[in-house]
Amino acid sequence: MAERFTVDFEWLDTLIAAFDGSTQATDAALDALHETGPIRTGHKDLDKACDHFKGKWEKRVRDFRGAIGGFRGAVDQSRTAYGATERHVTGSMARLAGTVPPAGPVDAASLRPLLDPAGPPVPEPSRIREALG
């Protein structure tokens, strides 16, 4: 089961970059909205409707930008957590096997040699407690 679980860090980086691009696009949309200035058609009711539309549009774009920022932050935190987990697991497995962590990504194929069943026996539970202090 574990060998099927992988994290594609490159894809997460691409997703984060896409969120950054979306944020820049919403900033450009807000700038364009501000540049249009007040709309004066000459008819009071139409001007009022245009101002109302512009206000609604600006609020929705700002809300969208905030949501994108939230998603980007969550993906970035997940990427950081997955990276830390991978480093800790790799280090733990290397210590268990008494060897240096493998270079590159960790997967079932790279861990299998470290977990050789013919390797040293697992210590008694009391010895484990001693080792852990």
* Low-confidence residues of the chain: pLDDT under 50: 1, 121-126, 128, 133
Say what the pLDDT of residue 133 is.
47
Say what the pLDDT of residue 30 is.
85
- Listed residue (85, 76, 122) closest to 106, CA to CA: 85
Q: Model's pTM, two decimal places?
A: 0.58
- Listed residue (30, 33, 40) closest to 63, CA to CA: 30
Structure token digits, residue 50: 């245009």
> Where in the chain are the domains?
2-116
Chain centroid, CA 61 distance in Å: 23
Say what the pLDDT of residue 128 is.
47
Say what the pLDDT of residue 25 is.
92
DSSP structural state of residue 98? T
Structure token digits, residue 94: 């290397």
Say what the pLDDT of residue 107 is.
62
Q: Using CA atoms, how far apart are residues 132 and 52, in angstroms rounded to an integer? A: 67
Q: Using CA atoms, how far apart are residues 105 and 110, in angstroms rounded to an integer? A: 8
